[in-house]
């Protein structure tokens, strides 16, 4: 082996050594447990839904139980399904279950934007509890904001939705259009579609479909726990 071949080899060894030393640094930094949990990455979970859809309500009921087990490890969001349609006067979107569904979607999106996960989730559960035909009505939204202890005007939800609860305010309508476009972009076609850490894991469309790793509460909890470990590494096990 001449010097010409030896040089790259030495460079490679030296590079490997640097990487190995570098790899120890984060380990030294995360030894304090408080800092570990503070830095923990939550698992993104997206439910592709429509606010008046029975399949969506079913998924949201299942996920209410999932959250009771792993809420601290989940960054939950709803992504709405609809069709962008410039002929729609109020929303610029056609919603499968009518304009009231578009309004319900806006109310839920505004709650998601301006309140904590616990608050907006309670708001959604409350809307569902009032029955599909009442989701999206201004009086349901105002009642449910009260139930979820959301300060309608002070939080920003009121302005986003329309202070009267109509769902037709500019900011909320824009959120709806963005959400519909995002759903299309990430391939959500059916309500309800469940996406855990970027992977579509299950659909409920009349019945459960394409749920390779199961569709019970404990199946979803298990999948979230696994993704949480992947995102945070073995250091997080304690």
Ligand X SMILES: *[C@@H]1O[C@H](CO)[C@@H](O)[C@H](O)[C@H]1NC(C)=O
**Residue numbers at the binding site for ligand X (CB under 6 A):** 83, 85, 87-88, 94, 159, 170-171
Q: Which of 45, 7, 9, 14 is nearest to 200 (CA)?
A: 45
Residue number with CB closer to ligand X (58 or 99): 99
In the complex, the smallest distance separating the C-beta of residue 153 from ligand X, rounded to whole angstroms, is 8
Structure tokens at 184: 């299309």
Q: With respect to ligand X, which residue has the nearer C-beta, 66 or 104?
A: 104
Q: Closer to ligand X by CB, 85 or 213: give it.
A: 85
Q: What angle do CA 209, 215, 51 make, to 5 degrees?
A: 75
State which residue, 94 or 147, has the beta carbon closest to ligand X: 94
Closest distance to ligand X from the beta carbon of 90 (Å): 9
The residue among 140 and 155 lying less far from ligand X, judged by its C-beta, is 155
**DSSP string computed for 13-71:** HHHHHHHHHHHHHHHHHT-SHHHHHHHPPPEEEEEEE-TT-HHHHHHHHHHHHHHHHHG
Distance (Å, rounded) from C-alpha 184 to C-alpha 90? 21
Taking CA 190 as the corner, what is the angle to CA 185 and CA 193, rounded to the nearest 5 degrees? 80
CB of residue 104 to ligand X, shortest distance in Å: 17
Least separation in angstroms between CB 231 and ligand X: 33
CB of 144 to ligand X, least distance (A): 21
């Amino acid at each position: 082996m001449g010097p010409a071949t030896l040089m790259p080899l030495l460079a490679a060894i030296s590079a490997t050594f640097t990487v190995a030393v570098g790899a120890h640094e984060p380990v030294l930094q995360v030894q304090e447990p408080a800092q570990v949990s503070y830095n923990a990455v939550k698992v993104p979970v997206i439910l592709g839904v429509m606010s008046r859809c029975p399949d969506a309500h079913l998924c949201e009921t299942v996920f209410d139980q999932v959250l009771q087990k792993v809420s601290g490890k989940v960054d939950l969001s709803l992504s709405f399904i609809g069709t962008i349609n410039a002929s729609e006067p109020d929303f610029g979107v056609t919603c499968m279950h009518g304009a009231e569904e578009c309004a319900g979607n806006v109310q839920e999106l505004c709650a998601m934007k301006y309140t904590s996960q616990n608050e907006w989730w309670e708001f959604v559960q409350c809307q569902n509890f009032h029955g599909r035909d009442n989701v999206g009505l201004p009086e349901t939204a105002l009642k449910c904001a009260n139930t979820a202890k959301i300060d309608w005007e002070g939080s920003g939800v009121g302005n986003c939705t329309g202070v009267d609860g109509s769902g037709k305010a500019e900011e909320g309508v824009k959120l709806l259009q963005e959400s519909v476009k995002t759903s299309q972009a990430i391939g959500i076609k059916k309500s309800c579609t469940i996406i855990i850490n970027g992977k579509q894991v299950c659909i409920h469309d009349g019945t459960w479909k394409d749920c390779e790793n199961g569709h019970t509460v404990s199946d979803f909890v298990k999948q979230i726990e696994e993704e949480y470990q992947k995102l945070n590494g073995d250091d997080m096990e304690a």
